[in-house]
């Protein structure tokens, strides 16, 4: 499981930290879940983020893998809920689209775009960390979009909320 933490000032993003929660040393699935909870809580306590953004589940061919991923996501969500953090969820396609302009971008393309955008010197070998960082950047972009639309999520909603601004 990856994590990525950003700071945003004046609509400029700065990476604070990113990495992956190592789970290989745990054979038992429940011990892995416990470690995810402890590590997520530790990151929240260390960096005090305002919000948690998470990638929504996607359809996979292996039902067992989807079940394990869902449990891990639930554990991370529970850690954020325990600290009264708002939670936001984004589909993988939306994340890729917001970072690269293509919803079908590869993990490599997403990582390279993040490297340029956030001026990351060296990328990690695994994509867990860059995937998580992509979720954080996507969330920041979505929040800025909502801010620029007066809190509306779409142009249609903005127009409906502000009919006097149409000429």
> What does the alpha-carbon distance between residue 67 and residue 57 come to, in Å, rounded to a whole number?
10
Phi, psi (degrees; rounded to nearest 5) at 81: -65, -35
Phi, psi (degrees; rounded to nearest 5) at 127: -90, 0
**pLDDT band for position 159 (cuts 50, 70, 90):** low
Give me the half-sphere count of Cα atoms (radius 13 Å) on the Cβ side of residue 62: 5
> What does the alpha-carbon distance between residue 102 and residue 88 come to, in Å, rounded to a whole number?
21
What digits encode the pLDDT tens for the residues 88-97? 999 999 999 9
> What does the alpha-carbon distance between residue 167 and residue 163 come to, in Å, rounded to a whole number?
9
The single-letter DSSP state of residue 15 is E
Q: What pTM was computed for the model?
A: 0.84
Domains of the chain, by residue range, sit at: 2-165
Least confident of 15-24, 57-66, 106-115, 128-137: 57-66
**pLDDT band for position 57 (cuts 50, 70, 90):** confident
For residue 19, which of 3, 35, 42 has the smallest C-alpha distance?
3
Topology (CATH) of 2-165: Nucleotidyltransferase; domain 5 (3.30.420)
Q: Report CA-CA distances (Å) from 62 to 12, 69, 132.
A: 39, 11, 22
């Amino acid at each position: 499981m990856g994590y990525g933490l950003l700071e945003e000032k004046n609509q400029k993003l700065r990476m604070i930290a990113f990495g992956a929660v190592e789970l290989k040393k745990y054979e038992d699935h429940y011990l892995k879940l416990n470690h995810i909870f402890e590590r997520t809580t530790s990151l929240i306590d260390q960096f005090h983020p305002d919000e948690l953004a998470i990638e929504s589940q996607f359809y996979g061919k292996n039902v067992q893998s989807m079940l394990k991923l869902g449990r891990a996501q639930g554990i991370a969500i529970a850690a954020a809920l325990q600290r009264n953090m708002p939670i936001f969820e984004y589909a993988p396609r939306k994340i890729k689209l917001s970072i690269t302009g293509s919803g079908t971008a590869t993990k490599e393309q997403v990582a390279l775009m993040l490297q340029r955008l956030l001026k990351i010197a060296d990328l990690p070998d695994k994509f867990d960390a860059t995937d998580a960082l992509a979720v954080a950047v996507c969330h920041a972009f979505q929040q800025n979009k909502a801010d620029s639309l007066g809190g509306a999520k779409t142009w249609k909603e903005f127009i409906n909320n502000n009919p006097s601004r149409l000429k």
